[in-house]
Structure 1
Amino acid sequence: MELIAQSAATNELGDRIIKVNHAGEHGAINIYNGQIFMARLTARSMVSQLTAFRSHEQRHRAIFGAELQRRGRPHCRSYWLCGFGGLVLGLITGLFGARTIAATTLAVESVVLRHLEQQLVVLQGNDPDAVSAISAIVSEEQQHHDHSASRVQEGTFWPKVLVPIVSASTEAVIWLGMRL
């Protein structure tokens, strides 16, 4: 009986994680939508890379969406909040150009990668479908992080200001999503 209860609790955690990851990917798509819109004015050289990153995030959202559908679960209640917040963040950071865009992606991806690693540890051996979905996106998220890190110059104003704010905001959205 205890094993069944433990399995149900793990499945509930897996469901919640997949829901929050799905909402997060929706937010990421909208960050890129806002940044692409503004980068056409402020950082034209980044538009093609941002478009490629957005296509990765669209694929990630589809992976988590398919897993939610397979599980018979609705999207997270924070889905639309993530989308709206992502768009606002993308528009504002895109307005300030290439370094700000890169600093934002670096901050978001640092938090996301840490959470994905934790999720894989917690779900390993307990929810293979969730592990498979999460594992399918890690390398592209790492690519976004590493590419952005190479564009951010240490000691510049924007990374010092934005990285802590965006990181804390991303953590707060994940925390909220896990509780809604």
Structure 2
Amino acid sequence: MLRSHAPSSRAYSVVPTPRDTEEKQLLHRMLRVDHAGEYGANRIYAGQMSVLGRSRTGPLIQEMWDQEKKHLEKFNEILAENRVRPTALLPLWNIAGFLLGASTALLGKEGAMACTVAVEESISEHYNSQIRALMEKDPERYNELLKVIKEFRDDELDHHDTGLDNDAETLPGYWLLKNAIQLGCKAAIYASQRV
């Protein structure tokens, strides 16, 4: 069962005002890629629901998608508050995410769950690397941003575990599919930070 959170939206920004250009660039890259990741995850779940929405797995996918919608909403707010432009690649992630979600869902529940495991593991690892970077820089200064990233990382780990609990690893070719999806995630993260 997935954890449920009280709304995490706050009335003030979770990002401190950058001290210099270097910090501004660092924060903008982080926020841009986090927004892109949550946007892509939303499109993946939309694709999965287009195929499996009326199946027994539909409510589970919808529950995970609802959490992703809250993540995206929060990053939309954060980007607007901090005048961070989203990645120019959103139109690509729109199509690619939906196609990835729908195509893996065509393999059945196990395919959708294998996709979920691969993507959520990639996103949670990425969030962990951001948490480490912010903790090394100044944990007090980034306290509010760290809270948001940790909460969302925990949700992603729950989705990952949900996928494993729902037969992801029983899909023939699971490891091949997982590695291919994770390679795509790494490329998307790299591109979204820069474009």
CA 153–173 in structure 1, closer or farther in 2 if over 3 Å, else same: closer
Distance in 2, Cα, partners of 1:25 & 1:144: 13
Partner of 2:129: 118
Distance in 2, Cα, partners of 1:87 & 1:62: 18
Distance in 2, Cα, partners of 1:152 & 1:28: 20
Distance in 2, Cα, partners of 1:59 & 1:52: 11
Shift, 1:105, TM fit: 0.5
Partner of 1:60: 71
TM-score (norm 1): 0.88
Aligned length: 174
Higher helix share: 1
Distance in 2, Cα, partners of 1:70 & 1:86: 26
The 3-state SS of whatever aligns with 2:88 is: coil
92, 112, 134: which one pairs with 1:101? 112
Q: 2:111–2:171: 8 Å Cα contact kept in structure 1?
A: no
When structure 1 is superposed on structure 2, of 164-173 and 77-86 the one drifting more is 77-86
Shift, 1:106, TM fit: 0.4
Q: 1:10–1:123: 8 Å Cα contact kept in structure 2?
A: no
Partner of 1:15: 28
Say if 2:103 is the partner of 1:92.
yes
TM-score (norm 2): 0.82
Partner of 1:170: 185
Shift, 1:108, TM fit: 0.5
Structure 1 gaps of 5+ residues are none
Q: 2:53–2:59: 8 Å Cα contact kept in structure 1?
A: no
CA 23–87 in structure 1, closer or farther in 2 if over 3 Å, else same: same
Shift, 1:62, TM fit: 1.0
Please tell me the root mean square deviation across aligned C-alpha atoms, in Å.
1.9
CA 62–40 in structure 1, closer or farther in 2 if over 3 Å, else same: closer
Distance in 2, Cα, partners of 1:115 & 1:62: 19
Shift, 1:156, TM fit: 4.2
Q: 2:110–2:169: 8 Å Cα contact kept in structure 1?
A: no
Equivalent position amino acid for 2:172 in 1: F
Partner of 2:52: 39
Shift, 1:45, TM fit: 1.3
Q: Percent identity?
A: 24
Shift, 1:154, TM fit: 4.0
Partner of 2:148: 133
Shift, 1:6, TM fit: 7.8
Partner of 2:38: 25
Structure 2 gaps of 5+ residues are 1-17
CA 30–67 in structure 1, closer or farther in 2 if over 3 Å, else same: same
